[in-house]
Amino acid sequence: MQHSGAKLSSKNTMIRLMAYDRRAFEAFERGATRLGWAEAVKNREIGHLSIKDTLVHILNVHDSLLIAVAQGKREVWKDPARKRENIKSWGDLRRYRERVWRGIDDLTAGLTDAKLQRAAKVPWFSGRYTLEDVIFQSSFEQAHHLGEIIGAYWQMEKSPPQMMFIPTMLGLRSSTR
């Protein structure tokens, strides 16, 4: 996806950001599958302990912010498939990821610049903010958790998956370290 240089609306910027998040997440999921299940579920002493549980947490964040909060679909919080202890295989993770991405697709399909400026309410955050802020929160939280996973790869003396924006979105190769 090459940038044309044209001025982007907030809507287009947010759609590009969510597309990047998807590609980066899927690169890390593929990387985890290459490590194997035993390595992916091993306690790495990162924020959510294992690579698998950190990936599940990232999906939980997107699910909570971009589906439950942004679209008022709070029933997703009751879905047992989103609990890390219920993700027991790559198939379970894939099915959960696919549900989350479908929900994000629903969000982007109806997104407008006006909707991005509407007030949003995340139950665990105080203050005033917009849907656009919620999208940024979701994206930045993914980035810092992917950073934890990168550290785990380095501790294993392995190269982590790509997460830099330009190479990820344009399919370019780059050095990660």
The tens digit of pLDDT for each residue in 84-123 reads: 999 999 999 999 999 999 999 999 999 999 999 999 999 9
| Side chain identity at residue 47, one-letter code | G
| CA atoms of 62 and 57, how far apart (whole Å) | 9
Residue 161 lies in a domain: yes
Residue 70 belongs to a domain with what CATH number? 1.20.120.450
Instruction: Supply the range of the domain harboring residue 72.
Output: 10-170
Specify if 100 maps to a domain. yes
What pTM, to 2 d.p., does this model score?
A: 0.91
Give the helix/strand (H/E) hosting 131: helix 131-155
Q: Count of domains in the chain? A: 1
Residue 120 domain-assigned? yes
Q: 140 near 163, Cβ under 8 Å? A: no
User: Alpha-carbon dihedral of residues 3, 6, 67, 32, nearest 10 degrees?
Assistant: 10
Q: Is the pLDDT of residue 68 over 60?
A: yes
**Does some domain include residue 177?**
no
Please indicate, yes or no, if residue 2 is contained in any of the structural domains: no
Domain for residue 28, yes or no?
yes
